[in-house]
Amino acid sequence: MSENPFFEAWSTPFGAPPFDRIRPEHYGPAFDAGMRAHLDEIEAIADDPRPPDFENTIVAMERAGRLLTDVGSVFFNLAASEGSETLRAIERDYAPKLAEHGSRVALHEGIFARVGKLYATREALNLEPDQLRLLERAYLGFVRAGAALAPEARRRMAEISTRLATLHTQFGQNVLHDEREWFLPLGPADLAGLPDFVRASAADAAVERGLTGHVVTLSRSLIEPFLTFSSRRELRQAAHAAWIARGEHPGPQDNTRLIPEILALRAERAHLLGFSSYADFRLADTMAATRTAVAGLTDEVWKAGLNRALEERDRLQANAHADGLNGKLEAWDWLHYAERVRQAEYAIDAAEIKPYFAFENIQQAAFDTAGRLFGLEFVEQADVSTYHPDVRAYDVRQDQRHVGLFLSDPFARADKRSGAWMSSFRDQQNVDGPVTPIIVNNNNFAKSTPALLSFDDAETLFHEFGHALHGLLSAVRYPSQSGTSVRRDFVEFPSQIFEHWIAAPEILARYARHHETDEPIPAALVERLLAARNFNQGFATVEYTAAAMLDMAMHAHPDPAAMDVAAFERKTLAAIGIPSEIGVRHRPAHFQHLFSGGGYAAGYYSYLWAEVLEADGFAAYEQAGDLFDPAIASRLRTLLASGDMKDPMELYLQFRGHLPRTDALLRQRGLN
């Protein structure tokens, strides 16, 4: 046991996990020891004979469970980005155990009694604002976990949490199974229409799978370019069919069997807590607060987006007929003909743009933008052990002072979870002295030499880096308030506002450089690129908003246990009038935001809600006429540094000076 790195103090650079020494067999003993230690700490707090006060109860809880936190942060990050069947087996084994442990803490009568006494007398405790908010949020967390319920209801809440942990894990692993197993081999004739960068990515994907030639996989960074450029319609149809069928194939990986149970358990939890639906339960602790508020936003955007999408469809249909397509435009045709129309109307060719967006340059653009806004410097560290050769580590500094460690994991791998995300191996805090964060950005860009990004890929990199800055710039005392530990419909604000800087002409002129000649992207091309940003915005708005509306409908269903998932999906999408040529961005069986965890359940609308904030917020820079205005950047940094120390709307008002306005969102999307 002494050889287990989790039982040692890490003397690695910056205290980073010693990835080179951590083995799968270390996780089980470390999880077990971490849970035992955490429960011992919780019992000690509950049994403390002294009257409860903020220090011996709330702060003591903040200190508790550090071994378990360390083990969990390493394991779950690696299970997502460096998955193997061994790690997946450990995840299946420990997900319910960890959920059961979490329930024992969240439903602990002794702890809740102490927190409840403090909450009842909170106004007389003379707490500082961040402390008062921490107490109030801790109390609310216990109540929403079920700690105030009768014993039998508390027992049932614990059972629900344990079962959901198993189902969430199974759901995510089923999607990964389908994404890992499917590929489409391409012969020489099947490469028709594909530009060089797509062919290179398809060749690299074949090598990764031990094959020769070219293959298309279900990595979004490969399948979307294939659907865009391939002139082989029957192959586009086959690839699209595989893409939308993830998670719903009959057999052990069929997620449609899991969804009704997940929804029913969530609804039961909400009913036990006095809410009519799980959607109402989730929204009660958000900025939006009610289904009515969410529907007001999604309905407004839906109508504007649908009108634009129908116009786009007619243009694409006409182009397809001119191209010789007899019959109706289909979903596997949209991206292909959208690219043709874009080229015709804006003289923009994605194959012309990509050579100017080398990954290395765009990553540096994100670093330097953070430097100009917030004074940060990113210095690569070759001596930091990482968990995969693709991963690179950077010391984040300000005025030569260490701020945090940033890890970049940019490329798709067969065992890596799809999508893009930010996470942390260590959160910033200052309970017993400063602890700096270790933040990771994961993307799934197609790996090639060089790695060339689309403009959408570049925006995704900036998006996830905005999340990273939220973690890196955190300046709070208590771990529970650190970085991205904020309301779900506020957490996307920092990421979405940071996307704007990749489109800044001065950033493009400096960092969008041809990977072979190092020539900057021509000003005329930048002008056409930016002019075309709202092209196909009806499509983007409809496919996203439909997913948000489907999410809310599923979590407001009165009898989810009896739900026929496919029938409900068809009925809901038909009711809102989604064009069949577009379809929903995430179908239920692979909607991991909702079902591989609870983070975005009844919360997928959050991206749209946050877009209202960021569109209105970024308008401050536009009005100032300076994208690096120091006064605005200083206010933005204060917001990022504050984590959950204040209510998010209070933070936004301090940053912007007024309540957010939806007209900025519609203007930004070109839908007003």
On whether the CB atoms of residues 409 and 438 are closer than 8 A, the answer is: no
Token pair listed for 626 = 């300076």
What are residue 495's phi and psi, to 5 degrees? -70, -40
User: CB burial class (10 A; 0-12, 13-18, 19+) of residue 329?
Assistant: buried
**Residue for token digits 């950077």?**
394
Residue 133 vs residues 110, 127, 222, 241: alpha-carbon distances, Å: 21, 9, 45, 48
* Length of the chain counted residue by residue: 672
* Residue 633 CB partners (closer than 8 Å, separation 6+): 373, 374
**Residue for token digits 């493009």?**
508
Q: Which of 420, 438, 383 is nearest to 70 (CA)?
A: 438
Distinct helix (H) and strand (E) counts, the chain: 27, 7
Q: Assign residue 375 a region (left: φ > 0; alpha: ψ between -120 and 50; beta: otherwise).
A: left
Q: Which of 590, 641, 554 is nearest to 245 (CA)?
A: 590
Give the torsion through C-alpha atoms of 398, 402, 405, 406, to 10 deg: 10
| DSSP structural state of residue 58 | I
Helix (H, G, I), strand (E, B) or coil at 536: coil
Q: Is 464 a catalytic residue?
A: yes
Measure the CA–CA gap between 141 and 116, rounded to whole angstroms. Answer: 11
What are residue 219's phi and psi, to 5 degrees? -75, 130
Q: Which of 650, 655, 670 is nearest to 618 (CA)?
A: 655
| DSSP structural state of residue 440 | E
Measure the CA–CA gap between 168 and 266, rounded to whole angstroms. Answer: 12
* Residue 605 CB partners (closer than 8 Å, separation 6+): 288, 294, 297, 298, 489, 548, 551, 552
Candidate list 41, 62, 464, 581, residue with the active-site label = 464
What are residue 600's phi and psi, to 5 degrees? -110, 10
Q: Which of 480, 449, 443 is nearest to 465 (CA)?
A: 443
Q: Count CB-CB contacts under 10 A for residue 513.
A: 18
Q: Which of 616, 633, 631 is nearest to 469 (CA)?
A: 633
Q: Side chain identity at 116, as an amino acid letter?
A: G
Active-site positions read 464
